[in-house]
């Protein structure tokens, strides 16, 4: 299982996830997002655009590494990984 | 008399209600989120807010309890697979004589901004977006579909869904675009109350476009518009309507605040006539609103030219015509006449039953209960105001 940590912003849109440990079965980051969508319908369109690309000002880390494939989210995840989904600090 | 106003701002949705003779605003949802437009569907009573979350994209939000609670709409606006458009970008190019190049490329569309929403009978809901999409619902918002005849219109290069076909577009961008791209946008949707198959949309920058068959075919509706600052003043395309509005009770009367002046049509947009009075300062601006019964009565909030885009000489005023634009009256009573530099965006002026309201990007909200003769500042410290609509 992969553990997913969301930025506080996302909990404010999906409050029923608040306080829960989110664990999903996935082998790629794209599968992580799909699993999140099953837990919280609509969240996938917050993280990705309608072409399933990671939104410009959103970052996903697997462990301490930022993912590389922002278009297809093919970066691998493995059991025990910690995935963080954050808004990019874009200035201001 | 109208007693409820919906206000979209840079930092949330506000509702302004009249009680005991006083208009009072309150935050009603979406705290901290950009709200481009808030409106009530008169057919269902549902409130719709068009949100721009920044990091998290654009979302439709709805309320079925008059704004007490809000939730993401069950159907969100998404461009379908294969929806492509011709975009234009300027880029650094050291090899160019001018240091920059101009790249035109066909690209997949993704939602940058929800800009305007309109309603029709029979569950019709229309959403105008950037880049340049008209999304249509026939089930009161349970689902939306991109109108493909307009998306694939010959004026924007035809059907680009098959690949990298490079057509030519006559649609250009708007600085209101979000995400850094200078893409075109649909900001005005007019549904003819006599015939739901007749719609007008206005595009920055292309012009006014009309369908008479429910969106199957579209034609330009820019006859009489004058592009005086360009080499081809009579061009079919290239116009920059800032906003258009139709008289509900006398629908042949349509008003347009354009980049190059104020235009009026008394023949349902078959032709336009310029009715600006630059010598009176009544010329440039963004919003326009027309009386629901008398199509010759309209209000604008003039600004100083496109180079400044703010109140003229520090004095804020609304101009009203009651004779189809032949004469204008400057309405200043109750509005600041010193050191006021408000800008009023295209969706931030409205009228209903003798009440006129507008809000500015400096967070001032003004309401007049007597057709604009006298004004009251209802709020002075709201976030930048994007839209003002009567509920």
- The domain locations on chain A are 2-87
Closest approach of A86 to chain B, Cα-based (Å): 10
A16 to chain B, any CB pair closer than 8 A? The answer is: no
Q: Above 70 in pLDDT, residue A91? A: no
User: Higher model confidence: residue B272 or residue B234?
Assistant: B272
What confidence tens digit (pLDDT) does each residue in A59-84 have?
999 999 999 999 999 999 999 999 99
Query: Which has the closest alpha carbon to B172: B241, B233, B118?
Result: B241
For β-strands B58-63 and B71-72, DSSP reports them as: antiparallel
What confidence tens digit (pLDDT) does each residue in B276-319 have?
999 999 999 999 999 999 999 999 999 987 777 888 889 999 99
Quote the DSSP letter at residue B277. Answer: B
- Tell me what the mean pLDDT of segment A39-62 comes to: 96
Q: Above 70 in pLDDT, residue B165? A: no
Q: Above 90 in pLDDT, residue B30? A: yes
Domain assignments of chain B as residue spans, ordered by start: 76-378
- Asked if the Cβ–Cβ distance from B72 to A42 is below 8 Å, we say yes
Select the highest-mean-pLDDT range: B174-183, B300-309, B368-377: B368-377
Give the pLDDT score at A92. 57
Q: Above 90 in pLDDT, residue B191? A: yes
B54 to chain A, any CB pair closer than 8 A? The answer is: yes
Give the pLDDT band of residue B160 (cuts 50, 70, 90).
very high
* Average pLDDT of the residues of chain B: 94
Give the pLDDT band of residue B357 (cuts 50, 70, 90).
very high
Give the pLDDT score at B166. 65
Q: Above 70 in pLDDT, residue B219? A: yes
- Give the class (CATH, top level) of B76-378: mainly beta
Give the pLDDT score at A90. 61
Give the pLDDT band of residue B335 (cuts 50, 70, 90).
very high
What is each CA distance from A75 to A33, B65, B362, in whole angstroms?
Answer: 12, 43, 45
Type and span of the H or E element at B197: none
What is the chain A residue with the closest CA to B78?
A50
Give the pLDDT band of residue B164 (cuts 50, 70, 90).
low
User: Higher model confidence: residue A32 or residue B177?
Assistant: A32
Question: If one looks up domain A2-87 in CATH, what number appears?
Answer: 3.10.20.30
- Tell me what the mean pLDDT of segment B109-127 comes to: 96
A-B C-beta contacts closer than 8 Å? 39
Considering only CB atoms, B57 lies closest to which of A9, A55, A88, namely: A55
Instruction: Please check whether residue B284 is in contact with residue B304, taking contact to mean a CB–CB distance below 8 angstroms.
Output: yes
What is each CA distance from B234 to B221, B244, B259, B277, in whole angstroms?
Answer: 12, 20, 15, 21
């Amino acid at each position: 299982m992969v553990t997913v940590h969301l930025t506080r912003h996302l909990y404010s849109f999906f409050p029923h996830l608040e306080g829960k440990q989110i664990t999903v079965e996935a082998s790629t980051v794209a599968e992580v997002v799909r699993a999140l969508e099953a837990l919280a319908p609509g969240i996938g369109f917050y993280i990705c655009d309608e072409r399933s690309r990671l939104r410009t000002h959103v970052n996903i880390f697997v462990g301490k590494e930022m993912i590389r494939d922002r278009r297809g989210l093919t970066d691998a995840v493995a059991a025990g990984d910690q995935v963080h989904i954050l808004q990019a600090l874009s200035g201001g | 008399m109208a007693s409820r106003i919906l206000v979209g701002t840079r930092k949330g949705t506000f509702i302004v209600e009249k009680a005991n003779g006083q208009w009072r605003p309150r935050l009603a949802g979406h705290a901290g989120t950009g709200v481009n437009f808030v409106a009530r569907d008169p057919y269902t009573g549902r409130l719709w807010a068009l949100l721009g979350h920044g990091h998290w994209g654009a979302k439709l939000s709805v309320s079925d309890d008059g704004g007490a609670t809000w939730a993401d709409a069950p159907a969100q606006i998404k461009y379908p697979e294969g929806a492509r458009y011709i975009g234009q970008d300027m880029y650094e190019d050291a090899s160019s004589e001018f240091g920059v190049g101009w790249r035109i490329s066909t690209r997949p569309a993704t939602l940058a901004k929800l800009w305007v929403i309109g309603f029709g009978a029979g569950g019709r809901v229309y959403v105008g977006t950037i880049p340049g999409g008209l999304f249509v619902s026939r089930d009161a918002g349970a689902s939306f579909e991109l109108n493909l005849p307009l998306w694939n219109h010959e004026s924007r290069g035809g059907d680009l869904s098959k690949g990298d076909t490079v057509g030519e577009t006559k649609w250009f961008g708007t600085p209101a675009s979000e995400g850094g791209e200078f893409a075109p946008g649909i900001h005005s949707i007019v549904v003819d109350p006599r015939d739901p198959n007749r719609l007008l949309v206005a595009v920055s920058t292309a012009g006014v476009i009309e369908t008479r068959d429910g969106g199957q075919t579209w034609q330009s509706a820019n006859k009489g518009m004058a592009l005086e600052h360009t080499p081809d003043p009579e061009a079919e395309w290239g116009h920059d309507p800032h906003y258009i509005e139709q008289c509900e009770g006398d629908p042949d009367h349509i008003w347009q605040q354009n980049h190059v002046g104020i235009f009026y049509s008394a023949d349902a947009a078959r032709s336009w006539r310029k009715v600006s009075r630059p010598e009176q300062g009544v010329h440039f601006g963004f919003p326009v609103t027309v009386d629901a019964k008398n199509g010759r009565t309209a209000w604008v909030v003039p600004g100083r030219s496109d180079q400044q885009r703010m109140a003229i000489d520090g004095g804020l005023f609304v101009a009203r015509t009651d004779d189809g634009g032949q004469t204008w009256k400057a309405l200043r009573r109750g509005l600041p006449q010193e050191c006021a530099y408000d800008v009023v965006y295209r969706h931030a002026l409205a009228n209903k039953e003798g009440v006129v309201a507008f809000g500015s990007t400096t967070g001032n909200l003004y309401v007049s209960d007597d057709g604009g003769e006298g004004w009251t500042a209802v709020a002075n410290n709201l976030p930048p105001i994007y839209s003002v609509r009567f509920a």
